[in-house]
Structure 1
Amino acid sequence: MKKIVINVSYDRFCVSHKAIVRLRALGQPDALREEDRGAHWPAAAGPREPSLNRYGALIPRDDEHLVRVVEELGSEANGHCADLKVVLIPDDVLWTIDMADGLERVSEVHRSWQ
């Protein structure tokens, strides 16, 4: 089974400062390229500070490091107004993340025409 991280909150997907620090320690390439704004203000990088808890938008949702960090940290991985969840899908499914009533979900890719 493949693991994918989604946001089940009505705001955008993001991870916390604590999560991005852990992702950087694991060597996740997208996290290493992202500026760590919280490093300059570590005391202010708590979960209630929105400007320092909106990381990870470019990290692939099936990235093994992202999945690991979300599973390790639980709710502490949630970025500002995010509620992250790991979803299991079959390995052979072509998938995409879409929105349903304002919440993310994993859907199987299918064909469509106009």
Structure 2
Amino acid sequence: MLRKIVINTCFGGFGLSDSATELLATAKSCRADEIDHAMSCAVFDSESDLLIYRDDLDLIKIVESLGNAADGFCSQLSVIEIPSDIKWEIEEYDGNEWISERHQTWS
């Protein structure tokens, strides 16, 4: 079984287009400005009434259906499939993201 995850595959950073944000807001029964906040909180594990993670089924459906029209400013979104039993995290360099298996890290 595979898990789908949305990532940004270019330098710049993850972002949704206005139309993708509106569709996601409709799917989640909230306002578009709440979607932006929910995406930020999910990334930083903040507390929020609404969190939208990158493996959210509505997010995946919207990105897959809109294709490039889902891309926000300086973003190129892709849906990546990984084994569903993997503990994963999104890593990035200058906004260009990839999925890594979660490991312990010390510094």
Shorter-chain TM band = 0.7 to 0.9
Q: TM-score, normalised by structure 2?
A: 0.76
Task: Indicate yes or no: 2:6 matched with 1:24.
Answer: no
Considering only aligned residues, what root-mean-square deviation do their CA atoms show, in Å? 2.0
Task: Indicate yes or no: 2:103 matched with 1:110.
Answer: yes
Counterpart residue number, 2:64 = 71
Q: Which amino acid aligns with 1:107?
A: S
Task: Indicate yes or no: 2:59 matched with 1:61.
Answer: no
Gaps of 5+ in 2: 41-51
Instruction: Report percent identity of matched pairs.
Output: 39
Structure 2 Cα separation of the partners of residues 14 and 57 of structure 1: 9
Gaps of 5+ in 1: 37-54
Task: Name segments (4+ residues, structure 1) moved above 4 Å.
Answer: none
Q: For residues 38-87 of structure 1, what are the alpha-carbon distances to aligned partners after superposition, in whole Å with 9 as ceiling and x for unaligned? A: xxxxxxxxxxxxxxxxx473331011110000001000000011100000
Residues 32-111 of structure 1: pairs in structure 2 closer than 5 A: 32=30, 34-35=32-33, 55=36, 57-58=39-40, 59-100=52-93, 103-111=96-104
Q: How has the CA–CA distance of structure 1 residues 63 and 81 changed in structure 2, closer, same or farther, with 3 Å as cutoff? A: same
Q: TM-score, normalised by structure 1?
A: 0.72
Q: How many residues align?
A: 93
